[in-house]
Amino acid sequence: MQNHMLAPAVVLVLWTLVMLSWLAMTRLPALGQMGGLAQAKPGGRGQDLEGVISDQINWKSHNYTHLLEQPTLFYAISVILAITSATQTDVWLAWGYVGLRIAHSLWQALINTVPVRFSLFVIATVLLVVLAVRALGQTL
Helices and strands: H and E segment counts in the chain: 5, 0
Closest CA to 30 of 6, 70, 59: 59
- Indicate the pLDDT class of residue 49, thresholds 50, 70 and 90: confident
Asked if the structure places residue 43 within a domain, the reply is no
DSSP 73-131: HHHHHHHHHHHTT--HHHHHHHHHHHHHHHHHHHHHHHT--HHHHHHHHHHHHHHHHHH
Asked if the structure places residue 86 within a domain, the reply is yes
Check pLDDT > 90 for residue 30: no
Give the SS3 label for residue 32. Answer: helix
Partners of residue 53 on adjacent β-strands: 50
Asked if the structure places residue 119 within a domain, the reply is yes
pTM, entire model: 0.93
Asked if the structure places residue 110 within a domain, the reply is yes
Work out the average pLDDT over 2-10: 95
Q: What torsion do the CA atoms of 55, 61, 67, 69 make, to the nearest 10 degrees?
A: -90
CATH of the domain at 69: 1.20.120.550
In Å, what is the CA distance from 70 to each residue of 91, 94, 108, 122? Answer: 18, 14, 16, 12
pLDDT per position as a tens digit, 63-96: 999 999 999 999 999 999 999 999 999 999 999 9
Estimate to the nearest angstrom the gap between the alpha carbon of 49 and the chain centroid.
20
Please count the other Cβ atoms lying within 10 Å of the Cβ belonging to residue 87: 14
- Please state which of the ranges 50-59, 108-117, 126-135 shows the lowest mean pLDDT: 50-59
Asked if the structure places residue 37 within a domain, the reply is no
Residue range(s) defining the domain that contains residue 87: 2-30+54-139
Q: Give the N- to C-terminal CA distance of the chain in Å, as an integer.
A: 20
Asked if the structure places residue 104 within a domain, the reply is yes
> How many domains does the chain divide into?
1
Work out the average pLDDT over 112-117: 98
Partners of residue 50 on adjacent β-strands: 53
pLDDT the model gives residue 45? 74
Work out the average pLDDT over 121-126: 98
pLDDT the model gives residue 39? 66
